[in-house]
A and B are shown apart, each in its own frame.
Chain A
Amino acid sequence: MRIEAIVIGCSAGGLDALKPLLRGLEPPLSQAIVVCSHSGDQALGLLPSLLARHCRLPVREARERFPVEPGMVHVAPPGYHLLIERDRRFALSVDEPVHYSRPSIDVLFESAAETYGARLAGVMLTGASADGAEGLACIRRGGGLAIVQDPAEAPAPAMPQAALARAGADHCLPLARIAPLLNQWTHRDG
């Protein structure tokens, strides 16, 4: 089954994990990447421009009602939950924070799992929260793939640990090996 979208979640230490991960992605990528991060830079809305410097793919803040585009990195805007509708467009909400977070990784992952089913991969990186564990479980239930950063090397292991405990993983890898795995999925034959 071809992977259509890759959703990535992180919090504490997330920026330093996202940079090398995104730097390792080789364009053209046939998947859409959607990032949900609770780091401090995220709160200021600076994340897309910070990440763009480390990424050969275009990086944008996700806009409500606009399509989830392949080959592009979409970042959840600060202060809103980001969801993906069945028509593969973004939606926003200001519902209550989940695990004290808005945007919440659970909210993104759950809606993405319903939309993409087995054509989805979820990536959980470093973070000090339980957010994302439930979402990753939804992705696996829907037949999608779960990739978790090895907690042993994560600066904040709580989030990958919670994800492993709740959802398990198809791949538990050091950060450096995640981008090469994602690159393999691109169908370069078009």
Chain B
Amino acid sequence: MEPVDPALEDIEVELFVRALRQRHGYDFSQYAPASLKRRVRQLARAHGTGTISALTGRLLHEPEFVFEVLEGLSVPVSDMFRDPPVFRALRDRVLPVLASWPYIDIWQAGCANGQEVWSLAILLEEAGLYERCRIHATDFNAAALARAREGIYPAREAQAWSRNYLEAGGRHSLSDYYSARYEFIKLDPRLRRNVSFANHNLVTDKVFCEAQLVLCRNVLIYFSNPLQERVLALFRDSLARGGFLCLGQRESLDFAPSAADFSTVDADLRLYRRNALPPTDHAH
């Protein structure tokens, strides 16, 4: 694309976001602007529309185009057992506490292509807890949800993921859980027997379960402060008292009032617990 005046592009992004909301009901107005702009610009480049305004035109006039846009605006990048110390802490410190609940509901919010869902299922299987668990894997991007459910990933990732798995305290070999064919690995479908994949948009949708553990890693970093606060309150209201929240390792809750409703289990790993006290009312 030709160099564009940043201020002009700001207007174009604003109109694009408005079109997406008014025409299709997806609200990105409270996303952190710098990353959003970068992605919208990439979409325009990928679809050869030249300008963001031309992209907005397609979004308004071609009903199916919205799915490609959502695909371009969601975050598909992750790894199995990404940040192994986090999964080790889940295994060693969180699951033993979860074991005291008769049924365990886990919400993986913003599951994208599902690498962490499958990691979690393996973790629970090895802890002997999986039969008592239900994992709710949600995302706003239907295409990503379908890929998450399939559990097929490029074989070139397997080596790094196996290393992660072992570093996270895995008891077997990651290859016990997948079959390799050609350039791909496919996770054992039995691992998803207690997983439900569902469409849920953190920006607009509400509480749908009472969970003992909510995982949402590297999603809130894309949200501006008010949206981060809304979603954190949503997590609080979705968690049982004493339930756990696990965020991405570089996320900061310093500007979110609802952080007061959580206590820190491990600051470096961004592992928190919902306080036993009733949620405070921030409306005043």
Contacts and interface: CB of A to CB of B under 8 A. Distances in A.
Contacts of A77: 250
Contacts of B218: 94
Interface string A94-117: 111000000000010011011001
A83 B32 CA distance: 10
A135 B250 CA distance: 24
A26 interface: no
A94 B75 contact: yes
Interface string B21-53: 000000000001111011100000000000000
Interface in A109-138: 110-111, 113-114, 117
Interface size class of B (residues with CB under 8 A): 20 to 34
B222 interface: yes
A94 B251 CA distance: 12
A40 interface: no
B227 to A, nearest CB: 12
Contact of A63 (B32, B38, B78, B252): B252
Contacts of B33: 85-86
Interface size class of A (residues with CB under 8 A): 20 to 34
A111 B34 CA distance: 6
Kindly name the residue among B34, B39, B250 whose own CB sees the greatest number of chain A CB atoms within 10 A. Answer: B34
A58 B39 CA distance: 33
B102 interface: no
A32 interface: no
Nearest to B218: A94
Kindly name the residue among B39, B250, B252 whose own CB sees the greatest number of chain A CB atoms within 10 A. Answer: B250
B255 A65 contact: yes
A66 B252 contact: yes
B77 interface: yes
A141 to B, nearest CB: 5
A29 to B, nearest CB: 24
Nearest to B6: A114
B116 to A, nearest CB: 12
A182 interface: no
Contacts of B3: 141
Contacts of B281: none
A83 B6 CA distance: 15
Nearest to B228: A65
A91 B77 contact: no
B77 A96 contact: yes
B221 interface: yes
A4 interface: no
Nearest to A92: B221
A42 B254 CA distance: 25
Contacts of B225: 65
Nearest to B32: A91
Given A65-B225, A93-B222, A94-B218, A110 B251 contact: no
A84 interface: yes
Interface of B: 3, 6, 32-35, 37-39, 75, 77-78, 218, 221-222, 225, 248, 250-252, 254-255
Interface of A: 63-66, 77, 79-81, 83-86, 91-96, 107, 110-111, 113-114, 117, 141-142
Given A65-B254, A93-B35, 14 more contacts: A64-B252, A65-B225, A65-B252, A65-B255, A85-B33, A86-B34, A91-B34, A94-B221, A96-B77, A111-B38, A113-B6, A114-B6, A117-B6, A141-B3
